[in-house]
Each structure stands twice: as C-alpha cells, then as structure tokens.
Amino acid sequence: MKTGNQHGFTLIELMMTIMVIAILAAIAYPSYDEFIRRSRLENVRGDLLENARRLESFYARNRTFNGFNELKNDNKYFDIFFVYNPLDSTLGNHLVGTSNAAADPDVGHYLLTAKAKASTNGKETRFMQLNDDGITTICTGQATTQAPVLIPDTGTPPKECEMY
C-alpha cells in the first residue's frame, strides 16, 4: 500500500550504487598504486642525480673520493649509498668490488644505488643504480652494499636490469 510523498532510496538502488563505487575503486586503485610507485622512482632518480653532481664536484676539487661525506640520503622511501667503482679493463666493465676498501678511491668511477626501505616502501621489489657515465638502470631483486654488480661499458644493462 502506497502512501503519499515517500522519500528515500530503495535497497536495490543503494546496492547498485555501492556496486558501481566498488567497481570504480577496483579499477582505479591499481592505477593509483602504479602512479605512486613511478613518482617515488622519479623522486629517487633526482636524488641519485643530485648525489652524482656532489660526487663529481668533490672529485673535481680533490681528485679522489676518499673523505667524501656529502651524500644526500634524506629520501623517505629509499636508502642511497655509493661505492667506488674502478674500471676493470680485462672485462671492459665497471666492476663494483665487494667492499669499499677493495676499491681505489683515486679512480674516478663510482656507482650510486638506491634501495627501497622496507618500513615505508615495502612493496618495491626493484632498486635503482646510477653510474659515473650517467647510465641509470632499474634492477629486480635486492640491492646490498656487498653484492658485486656489473654495468657494461656498452650501455647494455645486465639481464635483470633495464635502462630507466
């Protein structure tokens, strides 16, 4: 029985509205998540370039990386570190040694690495590298300060990495 002037929504109308909102959210969230991920990578790329500028400036003044302590590492989502990177002429590659002590700080090669912080960027499974030639790569897996990494002089990154 209908009475005059009823106001409101039926249960079906409310359920349809909720379903439309849920579908839109399911489509939009992955895009938003990928946007956030890309913006964090661009941000850390800028930090790597800034640190490369600082390294080049320090090396130009001192002709060594020994004593360099101007590393900018205030990124909320990535830890940034660098290792001296002597040229291994037998391989034609820049070879990162297993420790800074194994490398000669007077050789003008370096590798900057940005590794995702688990506390604020736990979903990121890649790390970014920038070498002294200005080649930026993004690699899968976990970066460590102790792992040897080869960056070919040909400009072609290793198979687990891609140019960024």
Domain ranges in the chain are 11-163
Residue among 103, 63, 64 at smallest CA distance from 83: 103
The structure tokens listed for 47 are: 């930090």
144 vs 101 pLDDT, higher one = 144
- pLDDT (0 to 100) of residue 98: 35
Report residue 149's pLDDT band, with 50, 70 and 90 as the boundaries.
low
Hey, what are 38's tokens?
């890309």
Q: Are the C-beta atoms of 99 and 82 separated by less than 8 Å?
A: no
| Reported confidence tier of residue 95, pLDDT bands at 50, 70, 90 | very low
Residue with the larger pLDDT of the pair 93 and 30: 30
Average pLDDT, the chain: 78
Burial class (CB in 10 A: 0-12, 13-18, 19+), 68: middle
Percent helix, strand, coil in the chain, to 5, is: 35, 20, 40
Predicted confidence at residue 45, as pLDDT, reads: 95
Report the C-alpha gap between 80 and 160 in whole angstroms. Answer: 20
What is the pTM (predicted TM-score) of this model? 0.69
| Interval 53-79 mean pLDDT | 88
